[in-house]
Chain A
Amino acid sequence: MSSILSLCVPALGATTPLILGRVDAVLCKTRFEKTRDSVQIALAEVLNNVIEHGYRHAYAGSVAVNLSDENGVLRIMVTDWGQAYPDHAVPDGTLPDPTEMSEGGYGWFLIKTLMTDVTYERQLGANHLSLRLAV
């Protein structure tokens, strides 16, 4: 396993594009170049969840993003120190019926559709979300 990128920044709407930009620039130079669009879409949803749910009752918080190469599989670890996920589990992520014209509920669907393996762990007051994506 080799590290591709490791960063820890304030979890704010304004920092999300900066994190996504860093990740995209780094992925360009790796064998995961073709996963760029999927990573941008999925990671944006994860970061939005951290801000809107994890730190909903906090003034501010941090988010750590780690990318690594696990023998050809891209692993993305996102850690925050906000509220635990409800039921300590990753939501189902069912796609809303398109004809219902739902204005929300697409986030976890996109994450789970674009990533091959999504696991959650609550440990020592931190949320660890792990995403994997094979090339």
Chain B
Amino acid sequence: MELSVDQTPHAQIIRVNASRIDAPIALQFKEDMRALTTEGEGRFVLDLKEVEFIDSSGLGAVVASMKQLRSGQKLELAALQPIVEKVFRLTRMDSVFTIHDTADDAGVNEAN
């Protein structure tokens, strides 16, 4: 699982450099997200542009990443590809996360 971080003026963009967030890597993803969010505050935007597939374990890991944040931190999502968008919509988790069309949108615009 490869995550890389870009600091922009209004948010830290965490890019997922993998095509899947699924059962075999869900736990590692959650731990990597924990490590990346131990410090800093404000908005973290998870850029899912490269992620073509997510299963319920991956969804659970993204939810866990949000739940393990400290106060003053917020996790948002960007660039959901068709299958990922479908999983978030069907499970109604799209109502829980702020979702941006692209990470650029999210990084430039401050959260409402």
Which A residues fall within an 8 A CB radius of B? 13-14, 16-17, 20, 37-38, 40-41, 44-45, 48, 51-52, 95-96, 98-99, 101-107, 109-110, 113-114
A101 touches B55 (CB 8 A): no
A41 touches B86 (CB 8 A): yes
On whether A40 and B60 interact (CB within 8 A), knowing A13-B24, A48-B23, the answer reads: no
Instruction: List chain A residues, Cβ under 8 A from B23.
Output: 13, 16, 48, 51-52
Classify the interface of chain B: helix, strand, loop or mixed.
helix
A12 to B38, CA, bound (A): 33
B63 touches A101 (CB 8 A): yes
Interface residues of B in 54-85 (CB under 8 A from A): 55-57, 59-61, 63-64, 66-67, 82-83
Instruction: List chain A residues, Cβ under 8 A from B90.
Output: 109-110, 113-114
**Is the CB of B15 closer than 8 A to any CB of chain A?**
no
Tally of contacts, chain A with chain B, CB under 8 A: 69
Known: A13-B23, A41-B87, A104-B56. 14 other contacts (CB 8 A): A13-B24, A41-B86, A44-B55, A95-B91, A95-B92, A98-B91, A98-B93, A99-B96, A101-B67, A103-B60, A103-B64, A106-B60, A106-B91, A110-B91
A91 to B58, CA, bound (A): 21
B96 touches A101 (CB 8 A): yes
Would you give the shortest CB distance from B34 to chain A, in whole angstroms? 13
On whether A103 and B63 interact (CB within 8 A), knowing A37-B86, A40-B83, A41-B83, the answer reads: yes
Instruction: List chain A residues, Cβ under 8 A from B60.
Output: 102-104, 106
Would you give the shortest CB distance from B4 to chain A, in whole angstroms? 22
A106 to B63, CA, bound (A): 12
Q: Which of A20, A52, A104, A110 contacts B87 (CB 8 A)?
A: A110
